[in-house]
Amino acid sequence: MNVKTTICCVLLLLFSTSSAKDVDLRVKGVTSIATTDENFICATLDWWPPNKCDYNDCPWGNAGILNLDLYNDIFLNAVKAFNPLRIRLGGSLEDWLVYQFGKQRECPLFQKKNDGLFGFSKGCLPKKKWDEINHFFNKTGVKLTFGLNALSGKKPSKEDKKNWKGDWDPTNAIDLMEYTISKGYNIDSYELGNELCADGVSARIDSVQYAKDITQLRKTVNLLYQDANTRPKVLGPAGFYGKEWFDSFLQNVGHGVVDGVTHHIYNLGSGNDKDLINKIQDPYYLSQVAQTFKDVSDAVKEFEPSSGPWVGESGGAYNSGGKDVSNTFVNGFWYLDQLGMTSTFNHKVYCRQALVGGNYGLLDTTTFIPNPDYYGALLWHRLMGSKVLSVSHEGSPYLRAYVHCSKTESGIAVLLINMSNSTTFEVSLLNDMNLYPEVVFKNTQREEYHLTPKDGNIQSKVVLLNGTPLVLTQSLHIPEMKPKLVDPSSPVKVKHDSIVFVHSKSFNAPACM
C-alpha cells in the first residue's frame, strides 16, 4: 500500500467515525418558566373499528375501544405502570356515537357508509361495554377524559353540509352521566366534540354556537355532580387551532366554564409521506410548530387564564401514523421533543394518539408489547416534575435539551435528545443562577437513563436502556428501569441517535426547593 492510499484510508476512517463535541448546558434554576399538570403524560383510546384503513393499510385491528381486550395482562400491566396514567377516550367517531342508556335501546355497530361521518354509519356504546371499560380503569387507576358527542341535536346546513347548526342536545349524555354516577365510576373530565372547531375536519360548528354548547355542558356537569371536589373538569374545543375561531370561542365562553383548552397537533403530515422519517430527525422542521403552541398559550392567558392549554390529541403523522416509523425508536425524537416543547409553553397535559391502535400506538396493536415511545413516556412520567426551568446551550441544533424540577426527589431532571447520526455530545450541566455560572456537584451520584435503538437501527422496535434491551418480565410486567450511576462532576455523554434522561439530585435549583 503506497503513502497516498494509506493517507486516504486514514482520512476516510476519521470522517466515517462519530465525532464528539463539548456542550455547556446552562440551567436557570432560580425561577420556573412554566408549569404542567402532575399527570402531564396522557394517551388516547379511539373508537375506530377494524375496517378503518388508510393508504391500503388497515392498522387498527381490534384496538378500537369497542373491540379492545380489556382483560389482557400485558395491557393491564402497561397501564398500571404509570400509577396513574391519564387516558382520553375519544376521536373522530365520537360525534357519531350514541350511548345505550335512557331511551336509547338499539345499539348498532359502526358500519362503512359513504355518506356517513368519516365514511361510517352511526355507532353505539353498549351499557355492558361501559361497565367493562370502567372496571378496567378503576383497576388500573386511570384518570379518564371522556369525549362526548357534540353533534347530538344538530343538523348539517342546507347551504354547507360541513357546517352543523342547532343547539347541542345533552339528553343522551345526561343518561350516560346519571348511570355513571349511580355506579360510582370516576370521570376526571368531559370533553365536548372532536375536531369541529376552526375549519373542522369532516364537520364544523360555529365558534359562538360551540361556546353556547360547552356552557350547557358545564351547567349539566355542575347540576349532576353536586360535590365540587369530585366534579369532572370540562374540556374543549378538541380540534386544530385557528386564531379567529379560538379567539371568538374564548371571548364568548364565560369565565370558569372551561378547565382545559384542548387542541390537536399532527405536524408531521400524512402517514404515507415518504419524507416522514427525515422530518422527525430535522430540528428545524420540528421547531416550526412552536408558534402554534405559543399562540394557543397566549390566547388562553389573555381570554381564559383560569384554565390551561392541553394537547388533547397528537399522533405526529395523521391517518394512523407512518408504518415502520411511528412505532419505532426514531419517532421518539419527535414525541419527546414535543413533550419538552409544549411544557415550556405552559401546556398542562399532552395526549398521545394512541395508547394502542394504528401505526402510532405506544403499545403494539396485536400483542400489546410496548413500542419504544412507551418507555420514553414512562420515564418522563416518573422523572420530570411539573415545574419547567429555562435552559440553553450554544451547541448544535441537533441536540435538544429540556429541564424540569425532579418529580419525586431533590434536584433537576434533564431530557437530552441527540438527533445527529454522527456526533456525540459531552454535556456539562452549569448552574446559571448568577452571572458566574459554575459546575455544581456534591458527592451524590447522578442517575442517567440512556435510550438507544437495538443494533443501532433507528427503525428498530426494540429500545435499549443503558445497553440492555427493555423486554417484559416472565410475569408479563413492565421491566424495572434502573439508572446508570455516574460521578456528577463528569459530563453527560449523549451518543448519536440517542435519548438520555438525567436526574441530578445535587443540582441546586432554588425554584425546586
| Catalytic residue check, 447 | no
Q: Is 105 exposed, middle or buried (0-12, 13-18, 19+ CB in 10 A)?
A: exposed
Query: Is the separation of the CB atoms in 140 and 187 below 8 Å?
Result: no
**String of DSSP letters for 420-480:** -SSEEEEEEEEE-SSSS-EE---SSPEEEEEEEEGGG-TT-S-EEETTEE----TTSPPPP
Q: Is residue 32 classed as helix, strand or coil in its secondary structure?
A: strand
3-state secondary structure of 293: helix
191, 304, 313, 448: the catalytic one is: 313
Q: Which residues contact 250 (CB under 8 A, 6 or more apart)?
A: 261, 299, 300, 302, 303, 304
Here the cell at position 247 is: 379567539
Q: Which of 195, 304, 447, 448 is catalytic?
A: 195
Whose cell is 435519548? That residue is: 499
- Please, are residues 330 and 322 in contact by the beta-carbon 8 Å criterion? no
Q: How many CB atoms lie within 10 A of CB 340?
A: 22
Q: Is 480 a catalytic residue?
A: no
394-400-405-407 Cα dihedral, nearest 10 degrees: -160
In angstroms, rounded to a whole number, what is the distance separating the alpha carbons of residues 410 and 406? Answer: 6
**Contact of 167 with 216, CB cutoff 8 Å:** yes
Alpha helices per DSSP H over 3-72:
3-16
The catalytic residues are: 195, 313
